[in-house]
Chains A and B, each alone.
Chain A
Amino acid sequence: MTSLAEILLFLALSWPFLAGTALRLTGVRGPVDERHEHSTLRIPFAITGLFLSVLDLLVVLSMAGTAPDAVHLWLDETLLAVSGSVILNAGLLTECIALTDSKNDPLSPAECARPFWTTGLVTVAIFLADPLAKIAVLLLASVLRTALVDAVRGRAAGGWSVLRLKGSGALLVLSGLLAPGTSASGMLAGTGYAVLAGLFPATAFPPPVGKSDLPDMRDAGETFRLAAGALLLASVLNSAPSSAGSGATLSVALIGFGFVTLFITSLRMQSVLSGSAVRLRQGLNVSQVCLALGAIAAGRAQPAVTCLALSAPMLTVPWFIRPEPGRMSVLAGRCAGWALGLMSFMTVLFVLHDIATLSVVLTLVLVAILLPAVRRGGRDLLSSPEDLISAFRRLTALRGDSTPVVKEPQG
C-alpha cells in the first residue's frame, strides 16, 4: 500500500511536465491544419492529471488511519497538499475546456504547454518539505511564466512588472524565513506571501502596462493559479510553523492583509459601472475577495476553508473570460456566475463562523465590510432564472442545425 502511494505520488507530480512536453513536441511537428489535433489533446491530458491527483487524495484518505502524514525523503504528503493539487489540476482542466481554440486567434504550442508546466511547478512547491525550497520553486514558476509569456516582442514591460512584484514577494518571504526565531520573521513571511498571493499592496490580476484597465485574459487562469499556490504555501507554513512566535505573527499578518484586501475590494466593487464587461469585472473582484477570505482562513489555520475559497474562482473564472461571445458561452457565463456567487457566499459563511469564535468585534467588522460586496455581487453576477432558461432554450433550439458539439459546462 505504501509503495503504491509513492508510485502514485510520483506519477501525479511528474505528469504535468510530461504532458506539457508532449504538447510542445506534437505542436511543433504538425503543420497548420493539424493544429486542431494537438489542441484537443490538452483536455485528455488535463483529465489524466486530475484523475491521478484524485486517486492520490483517495489513497491518502484511506491511509489516514495508519500513517497520518507520509513523510518521504524531501516531500511532505499532507492532506492539505493533496487537496491543493486536486484544486490546481481541476482549475487547469477548467481552463483547458473554457479556452478552446478560436479560428482567428489560435493557441501556439508553447502557449498550450505552459499552463501544464507552471501548474506542475506549483504542485511540486506545495508538496516539498523545506519552506525555502517551496518558495524557490514557486519563484521558478513565475520566472518560467514570464519567460514564456513575454517572449513576444512588445510585452517585456508587462513581464517586468509581474516579475518585479513576484520577485519582491519572494525576497520578503526568503528574508523572513532566513531570520530565524525572531518575531519579525513571521511578519516578513506573511507580508511576502500576501504580495505573492495578490493581496492588498498588489492585485491578483495586474492590468497590462499602458493598455485598458482589464487584465490580459488568456493567462488570467494561470495568474490565479500562481496566487493560489502562494496562499496554499502560506497555509501549509501556518499549520506547521517553525517556531511559536513566528507562527503567531504570521497568522496575524495573513488575517490583517486579508481584512484590508476585503475592504479595498468591497469599495472597488461598488464603483464598477454597468456596461458590457461588468460581469467579468465583478468576477475578477469576487476572485480577489475569495483570495482574501482564503488568506483569513489560512491565518486561522483552517486549511479546508482555504481550499473551498480557492476552488470557487479556480473553477469558474475561465468561463467569464472566453474570447468570443457565442451562444454556448452565454449560458456558460450565466452558470459560472451562479456557481461563483454561491460558492463564495458559502466561503463567507464558513469564515464568519470561524471568526465568530475569535472575537465579536472582528465579526461585526467583517459583516460590515462584506454586506455591500455581497449585495453588489449578487446583483451583478446572479442573473435571473428566466434569463438562464431562455439562454438554455436558445442553445437547444439552435443545436440541431449547424452548431458544433461543445462539451456541457459544469456549474
Chain B
Amino acid sequence: MTLALALAPLAALLSVAGGLTVLPILGLLTAVSVVTLHHLNQDLNAARMLFVAAVALAISVIPTWKLNDYTEESRTPGTLAALSLALFLGFTVCASLPAEEAMRSSSVMPVNPSAITTSLMITFTGLAALALRTGIKYQFAGLLTACNGILLAAANAPQTRAVWIVGGSILLLVTTCLWLAQRLSLLRSDSDF
C-alpha cells in the first residue's frame, strides 16, 4: 500500500463535492499508483503500465481543461446524498472484501491485492456521484472518477489483454461523454437559466 494508493479514495470523495476541479489530482494519484504497482512487480511489461498511466492522466486533465469555460448551475443539490452513499459503499467494500480473501481464494494472482479494495472504493464513489448528483458537470466528474478506479483495477489484473480493451473502451466512452457535456453546457449558457 503506497501513499498514492491510500490518498486516491480521499481524492475521489473530494471529487464528489468539488466536481471537475479535483479530478487532475485524482488522475495524478492513479497514474503514480499504477507506476509504483509495476515497480513492485518487475516482470510486467512497461508498455501496459505507461498506457494505463497515460489514459488516467488524459481522462482526468483533458475534460477539466475543455469544460473549464462552461458554466454550471450554481445550485449543487445532491451532494450530501451522494457523499453518504459513497461512504457507505466504501465502508461496505472495506468490511466485506478484505484483500486477503482475494489472495486466498483466487488461482490467478493480482499484482497487488490491496489495490483491489482501493479501486473498488474509487469506482463506487464515482458511480454514487454519477447516480445522485445533479448537473452534468458533476455527473461527468463522477463518471471520470469511476473510470479512474476501473483503470487501476485493470492495471492490477493479471491478464495483459484486459488493459488494452478496458483502456480503449474507456477512452471511447469519455470522448463521447465529453462531446455531449460540451453540447449540453453550451445549450445551458445560451438559454440562460
Residues of A within 8 A of B (CB): 130, 132-133, 135-136, 139-140, 143, 146-147, 150, 154, 156-157, 159-160, 163-164, 167-168, 170-172, 174-175, 178-184, 243, 245
| In the complex, B127 has a CB within 8 A of chain A | yes
Q: List the B side residues contacting A183 at CB < 8 Å.
A: 101
Q: Which residues of A contact B157 (CB under 8 A)?
A: 178, 180
User: Mask for B104-140, Cβ within 8 A of A = 1, else 0?
Assistant: 0111101000001001100100110011000010010
Contact A143 B102 (CB under 8 A): no
Instruction: Establish whether residues B106 and A143, one from each chain, have CB atoms under 8 Å apart when the complex forms.
Output: no
- Sample 22 A-B pairs with CB under 8 A, ordered by A number: A130-B165, A132-B162, A132-B165, A132-B166, A135-B169, A136-B165, A136-B168, A146-B176, A154-B187, A170-B173, A171-B126, A171-B150, A175-B150, A179-B116, A179-B119, A179-B153, A181-B102, A181-B108, A182-B106, A182-B116, A184-B96, A184-B120
CB < 8 Å neighbour of A139 from B153, B159, B169, B187? B169
B14-50 vs A, CB cutoff 8 Å, 1 = contact: the mask equals 0000000000000000000000000000000000000
- Chain B nearest CB from A258 CB (Å) reads 21
* Residues of A with C-beta under 8 A to B168: 136
Per-residue CB contact flags for chain B residues 135-168 toward chain A (1 = under 8 Å, else 0) read 0100100010011011001101111011001101
Closest chain B CB from A155 CB (angstroms): 10
- Cross-interface CB contact of A159 among B130, B139, B166, B180, cutoff 8 Å: B180
A residues near B120, Cβ cutoff 8 Å: 175, 179, 184
Indicate if the CB atoms of A182 and B101 lie closer than 8 Å. Answer: yes
Residue numbers in A under 8 Å from B165 (CB-CB): 130, 132-133, 136
Q: How far is the CB of B158 from chain A (nearest CB, A)?
A: 7
> What is the minimal beta-carbon distance from A127 to any residue of chain B, in angstroms?
16
Q: Could you tell me the distance between the alpha carbons of A170 and B174 in the complex, rounded to whole angstroms?
A: 13
B7 close to chain A: CB less than 8 A: no
Alpha-carbon separation in the docked complex, A178 to B179 (Å): 28
Q: How far is the CA of A140 from the CA of B147 in the complex (A)?
A: 15
Taking a contact as CB atoms closer than 8 A, the residue among A164, A178, A245 that contacts B150 in the complex is A178
Contact of B169 with A140 in the complex, beta carbons under 8 Å: yes
* 10 closest residue pairs by CB, A with B: A181-B106, A136-B169, A178-B153, A156-B183, A160-B180, A175-B123, A136-B165, A132-B165, A143-B176, A171-B146
A-B contacts besides A159-B180, A170-B173, 4 pairs, CB < 8 Å: A133-B165, A146-B176, A146-B180, A147-B176
Closest residue to B175 on the A side, CB-wise?
A143
User: In the bound complex, what is the Cα–Cα distance between A154 and B149 (angstroms)?
Assistant: 32
A164-B106 in contact (CB<8A):
no
Q: Which listed residue, B102, B108, B143, touches A167 by the CB 8 Å rule?
A: B143
Q: Is the CB–CB distance between A182 and B153 below 8 Å?
A: no
Q: How far is the CB of B179 from chain A (nearest CB, A)?
A: 8
Residue on A with the closest CB to B161? A130
Contact of B176 among A130, A132, A163 (CB under 8 A): A163
A-side contacts of B179, CB under 8 Å: 147
A167 to B129, alpha carbons, bound, how many Å? 13
Measured between C-beta atoms, what is the minimum distance from B20 to chain A in Å?
Answer: 15
Q: Which of B107, B147, B180 is close to A150, meaning CB atoms less than 8 Å apart?
A: B180
A contact residues around B158 at 8 Å (CB): 180
Closest A residue, CB atoms, query B185: A156
Contact (Cβ within 8 A) B143 A164: yes
Shortest Cβ gap from A107 to chain B (Å): 23
Q: Which residues of A contact B102 (CB under 8 A)?
A: 179-182
Minimum CB–CB distance for B30 against chain A, Å: 14
Q: Which residues of B contact A243 (CB under 8 A)?
A: 105-107
**Chain A: which residue is nearest B139 at the CB level?**
A164
For the complex formed, measure the closest distance between the CB of A135 and the CB atoms of chain B, giving whole angstroms: 8
- List, in ascending order, chain A residues with CB within 8 A of B126's CB: 171
**Alpha-carbon distance between A245 and B177 when the two chains are bound, in angstroms:** 35
Chain B residues lying within 8 Å of A150, measured Cβ to Cβ, are 180
Contacts of B62 in A (CB 8 A): none
Q: In whole angstroms, what is the CA distance A146 to B181 when docked?
A: 13
Q: How far is the CA of A143 from the CA of B177 in the complex (A)?
A: 9
A245 touching B166 in the complex, CB below 8 Å, given contacts A146-B176, A179-B153 = no
CB distance from B27 to the nearest CB of A (A): 16
Closest chain A residue, CB of each to CB of B110: A180
In whole angstroms, how far apart are the Cα atoms of A175 and B122 in the complex? 11
- CB of A156 within 8 A of CB of B187, answer yes
Chain A residues positioned under 8 Å from B110 (CB to CB): 180
Complex formed: what's the CA distance from A243 to B105 in Å?
A: 10
Q: Are A163 and B180 in contact (CB under 8 A)?
A: yes
B173/A139 in contact, CB under 8 A? yes
By a CB distance below 8 angstroms, the chain B residues around A245 are: 105
State how many angstroms separate the Cβ of A201 from the closest Cβ of chain B: 9
User: Does A178 contact B97, Cβ atoms closer than 8 Å?
Assistant: no
> Which residues of B lie under 8 Å from residue A164 when comparing CB positions?
130, 139, 143
The answer to whether A140 touches B177 (Cβ under 8 A) is no
Residue of B nearest to A150 (CB): B180
Per the bound structure, the CA–CA distance linking A150 and B176 in Å amounts to: 11
- Cα separation A245 to B106 with both chains bound (whole Å): 10
A292 to chain B, nearest CB (A): 21
A174–B166 touching, CB < 8 Å: yes
